[in-house]
A and B are shown apart, each in its own frame.
Chain A
Amino acid sequence: MLRKGLTLAAFGLALVAGPAMAATTQAELKDIHWSFEGPFGKFDQVQLQRGYKVYREVCSACHSMNLMYFRNLGQKGGPFYDPKYPNPNENPYVKSLAHDIQVGDIDQDTGDPVKRPATPADKFAAPFPNEVAAAASNGGKAPPDLSVMAKAREGGPAYIYSILTGFVTPPAGLTIPAGKYYNPYFPGDLSGSWTGSPDHVPQGGVIGMPPPLAPNKVTFDDKTPSTVANQARDVAAFLAWAAEPKMEERKQFGLGAMIYLVIFSVLLWFSYRRIWRNVAH
C-alpha cells in the first residue's frame, strides 16, 4: 500500500522538479557535449587555456571576474596547473600571465594610487573602477561579473555558448532599439516590440552586448581553428571551471565516498540480518 504511495510521490516529485515556465521566453539552449559532464567528467586543460585567452582578449574588456585570482589559473585542475609547481604562486607561467596585467595599488611611500604589474596573489583587474562607471560606459547597464556566471544562469555553460553563438538578424516585424541586439537565447518578452501576429512572438529578448566574437579574433596557440563556435565553446568551458574550480576534486572525493558507503551499507545489511535472524517480526 505504501509502495503505491511512494510511486505516486515519485511521480509528483518529477512534476514539481520540472522546469518552471516563466512569463519571459527563450529559445531552447544548444546541446553541447562538455568534457566535464557526468560523474567522471574532467575539464580539458588545453580547452581551459584557450578559454582563458578568449576571456582575456575579448570578454575582459567589459566583464570583470572579481572572484578570480591569477593564482587560481595555476592551482590543481586549473588551466595552467603544472605538477612541478604545486604552489600556484610559484608557477612561472602564471607569474608571467599576471605580470602582463596592470593592477591598481597604493604607493608605499606617497600613498598615491599607482599601477603595477600583477602577481599571482592579485585579483583579475576589473575593466571599470565601479559599477556606475561600468553602467555609464555600456548603455546604462553594467556588464555582469563572470566569476560564477556558469552557475548564475539556467543551463550554465550551454547558456553561455548559446548566447555567444546565437546572435541572428531580427525577424521582420521586430523593432530592436539602437545599441541593442536581438538574441533568441536571451530570456525576454518581445511582445511589446513585435508588430506581427501575437501568436508568433519571437522567442528571446534584446541584449545590450554586441556580438563579441568573430572568426580569428583570438589566435589559439594550438592548431584549433579560431571559429566563433570554438571560441564560444572554449570560453564557456573556462567560465564553467571558474564557477566551480573544485568540481574535479568534488567528483573524485565523491566517488571514493560513495564506494565506501555502498560497502558499508552491505556490511550493515549482513550485520542486521544476523542480529535479527531469530526474531519473528
Chain B
Amino acid sequence: MSGHSTYEPKTGFERWLDMRLPVIRMAYDTVLTFPTPKNLNYWWTFGGILSLCLGIQIVTGIILAMHYVPHVDYAFNSVERIMRDVNYGWLVRYIHATGASMFFLAVYIHICRNLYYGSYKAPREVLWILGCVIYLLMMATAFMGYVLPWGQMSFHGTVVITNLFGAIPVIGPSITTWLWGGFAVDDPTLNRFFSLHYLLPFVIAGVVVLHIWALHVPGNNNPTGVNVKSKEDTVPFHPYYTVKDGFAISVFLILFGFFVFWFPTALLSPDNSIPANPLVTPAHIVPEWYFLPFYAILRSIPNKLGGVIMMFSAIAVLFVLPWLDTSKVRSMRYRPTIRLYFFIFLLVCLVLGFCGAHEPAEQVIPGVTTFTLGDYDLNTMVWLSRVAALYYFAYFLLITPIMGLTETPLPVPESISEPVLSHPASGSAQAAAASNKG
C-alpha cells in the first residue's frame, strides 16, 4: 500500500487482471514482500494472533447464530440445545466463549507491547488511535455477546452496565430507556444486542483493514525503536514472519485449546447457568475478567456520575497518549527509569483487576482493621483500588510526560543492525546497555 511495488505478473491472466483489479499486486506487496524489521521479537506476533482471534470469533459466531434464538423465552434453552443436540455445537460454543477471553488476553499483550516499545509515537499516532477504536469496539461487542445466553449474570450485568448511561445529567434516563427499548432490560434489549453483536465484528474487521493500512505506511516499529535505515535492516514478511507468526499462533492455540477442551467453564460464571430472573440478583455481580480493572475504577468513586466519567476516562486517556509522551526515545529498552514505572503500571492494572473481582468493603489483608478514612477502612478493596486508580492516571498524565523530559536515556544504537552485529552473543537490551556504558 506504500512504496514501490516489486510485483511482476507472471502469467497472461495475472497481467490481464493486474490492469483491471490489482488485487494480486496488493496481496503481494502487503503480505509477501513487505519489508519488515528483522529484529521483531515474539511480542510482535500478537498482531497475527489477533487477526486469527477475530476470524475465529466471526466464523464460530456465524455458526452459533444459525442455532441461537434471540428471545427471552428461548435464548437460554437454545444455547443449551447448541451444547447438547447440535453436532459439535459444544465445540463451536466453547471456542466462541473461550475465544472472547483469548482475544482480550492477546489484545492486552499487544497494547502492553506498544506501551513498552513506544510504538504509538510519531509517525504511528493514527495507527495507535485506530487500535484504540478496535479495543473500544471489542469491549462493546464482548459486552453485548455476554448478554445473549440470557443467564443470571447476562441479565444483571446488562442492567448494571446500561444503567451507567443513566449517570449522564438530564438525558441519562432517556438514554437508558432508549437502549432498553422499554423500562427494563427485556426482549427488545436482547434482540437489538443480538443484532449489534452480529454487526460489530464486521465493523472491527473494517477498522482492522485501516489499522493495517496505517501500519504499512511507516512500517513496523521494532524493539530498538530505531527507524529502518536500509535494506539490511529488513527481511520480506514472507517467509520470515509468516513462519514466525505461524509458530506463535500454533503455541497460542495450545493455550486456547487447553481452556476449550479441559476448562471451558473456568472463565464462565456459574450464575450464568441459571436462566435470567429479573426478580433475583446474584449475590455477586462480577463482569468478565477483562473488564475488571475498569469496573474497579468505576466503584472506587463514591459518586455515580464521577465513577462513570473516571471509567471512560481510563480508556479515553489512551487516545491522547501519543501527545502525552514527551520522550525522544521510543523503546523502553533505552529508558531504564520509566521502565520501572511501566512495570509498576502493569502490576497496578492487575491490582485493579483483583479489586474489581472483590466486594469494595472486603479487607485486603484479612483480619486487619486500621482506621476509617472517609467512607471505608483503609484496609479495604475500595481504598486499594483508589490508590491503584490514582497511579493508573498518574502514569499517563504525570509520569509519562515528566519522565520524557527529565530522564537520561541510554545510548540508542545507530541502526537496527548495529546492536545485533556488534554483540553477537546477545540481542537483548541489557548486554547492549552494559557494554555501551563500559
Contacts and interface: CB of A to CB of B under 8 A. Distances in A.
B362 A21 contact: yes
B425 to A, nearest CB: 12
A249 B90 contact: yes
Given A15-B354, A265-B251, 16 more contacts: A5-B343, A12-B354, A16-B353, A17-B289, A21-B358, A21-B359, A22-B359, A151-B270, A151-B273, A152-B270, A246-B84, A254-B261, A258-B257, A258-B261, A271-B247, A275-B240
Interface in B242-275: 243-244, 246-247, 250-251, 253-254, 257-258, 260-262, 264-265, 270-271, 273-275
Contact of B254 (A15, A18, A156, A261): A261
27 contacts: A1-B333, A15-B354, A16-B289, A18-B357, A20-B357, A23-B283, A39-B261, A67-B77, A67-B80, A67-B84, A148-B273, A151-B265, A152-B273, A156-B270, A246-B84, A254-B257, A254-B260, A254-B262, A255-B261, A258-B261, A261-B250, A261-B257, A262-B254, A268-B247, A272-B243, A272-B246, A281-B420
Contacts of B427: 281
Nearest to B250: A265
Given A23-B359, A265-B254, A281 B39 contact: yes
Given A15-B354, A16-B353, A246-B84, A8 B347 contact: yes
Contact of B350 (A9, A67, A268): A9
Given A5-B346, A152-B270, A246-B84, A12 B353 contact: yes
B273 to A, nearest CB: 4
Contact of A24 (B262, B264, B283, B420): B283
Instruction: From A8, A15, A275, name the one whose CB has the most chain B CB atoms within 10 angstroms.
Output: A275
Given A22-B283, A254-B257, A275-B239, A2 B43 contact: yes
Contact of A16 (B239, B261, B265, B350): B350
Interface residues of B, number: 59
Nearest to B40: A281
B258 A268 contact: no
A66 B74 CA distance: 13
A117 interface: no
B105 to A, nearest CB: 10
A264 B250 contact: yes
A205 B275 CA distance: 23
B417 interface: yes
User: DSSP class of B's interface residues: helix, strand, loop or mixed?
Assistant: helix
Interface of A: 1-2, 4-5, 8-9, 12-13, 15-18, 20-24, 39, 66-67, 72, 144-145, 147-148, 151-154, 156, 187, 243, 245-246, 249-251, 253-255, 257-258, 261-262, 264-265, 268-269, 271-272, 275-276, 279-281
A20 B295 CA distance: 15
Interface in B107-136: 116
B430 interface: yes
Contacts, number: 134
A280 B262 contact: no
User: DSSP class of A's interface residues: helix, strand, loop or mixed?
Assistant: helix
Contacts of B430: 1
Contacts of B305: none
B235 interface: yes
Contacts of A145: 275
Contacts of B239: 275
B351 interface: yes
Interface string B321-352: 00000000000010000010001001100110
Given A2-B43, A254-B262, A268-B243, A8 B343 contact: yes
A269 B247 contact: yes
B350 A12 contact: yes
Contacts of A21: 358-359, 362
A261 B246 CA distance: 12
B205 interface: no
B271 A152 contact: yes
Contacts of A271: 243, 247
Which 10 residue pairs spanning A and B have beta carbons closest together? Answer: A254-B261, A12-B350, A152-B273, A151-B273, A268-B247, A265-B250, A246-B90, A281-B38, A16-B353, A272-B243
A187 B282 CA distance: 12
A115 B359 CA distance: 50
B291 to A, nearest CB: 12
B171 interface: no
A152 B253 CA distance: 28
Contacts of B346: 5, 8-9, 12
Interface string B351-372: 1011001110010000000000
Interface in B75-107: 77, 80, 83-84, 90-91, 94
A264 B248 CA distance: 11
Interface string B170-206: 0000000000000000000000000000000000000
Contacts of B424: 280
A22 B235 CA distance: 54
A275 B243 contact: yes
A276 B260 contact: no
A16 B357 contact: yes
Nearest to B357: A20
B429 interface: yes
B80 A12 contact: no
A64 B250 CA distance: 44
Instruction: From B116, B243, B258, name the one whose CB has the most chain A CB atoms within 10 angstroms.
Output: B243
Contact of A13 (B80, B254, B350, B359): B350
B284 interface: yes
B292 interface: yes
A250 B261 contact: yes
B289 A147 contact: no
A23 B43 CA distance: 41
A279 B247 CA distance: 18
B286 interface: yes
Contacts of B417: 280
B421 interface: yes
A156 B289 CA distance: 21
Given A12-B354, A22-B283, A23-B283, A152 B274 contact: yes
Nearest to B267: A17
Contacts of A257: 257, 261
A148 B80 CA distance: 9
A268 B420 contact: no
Contacts of B261: 39, 250-251, 253-255, 257-258
